[in-house]
Amino acid sequence: MGVGVAVIGSGNIGTDLMIKVLRLSESLDMVAMVGIDPESDGLARARRLGVATTSDGVDGLVAMPEFADVRLVFDATSAGAHRRNNEILQAYGRTVVDLTPAAVGPYVVPPVNLDAHLAERNVNMVTCGGQATVPVVAAVAAVAPVAYAEIVASIASRSAGPGTRANIDEFTQTTARALEVVGGAGKGKAIIVLNPADPPLLMRDTVYCLVPAGVDTGRVADSVAAMVASVAGYVPGYRLKQAVQFDPVDAYVPALGSRFTGTQVSVFLEVSGAGHYLPAYAGNLDIMTSAALRTAERLVAVREGARS
**Distance separating alpha carbons of residues 222 and 220, to the nearest angstrom:** 5
d(CA 237, CA 232): 7
Please give the Cα distance from 241 to 61 (Å, whole number): 42
3-state helix, strand, coil in the chain (%, to 5): 45, 25, 30
Instruction: Judge whether 75 and 86 are in contact, CB under 8 Å.
Output: yes
| Beta pairing, strands 203-211 & 148-156 | antiparallel
128, 141, 178, 182: which one is catalytic? 128
Q: What are phi and psi of 84, to 5 degrees?
A: -70, -40
User: Peptide bond before 65: cis, by omega within 30 degrees of 0?
Assistant: no
DSSP states along 140-192? HHTTS--SEEEEEEEEEGGG--HHHHHTHHHHHHHHHHHHHHTT--SSEEEEE
Cα–Cα distance for residue pair 95/285, rounded to 1 Å: 22
Specify whether 209 is catalytic: no
Say if CB 130 and CB 152 are below 8 A apart.
no
Hey, which residues are catalytic here? Answer: 128
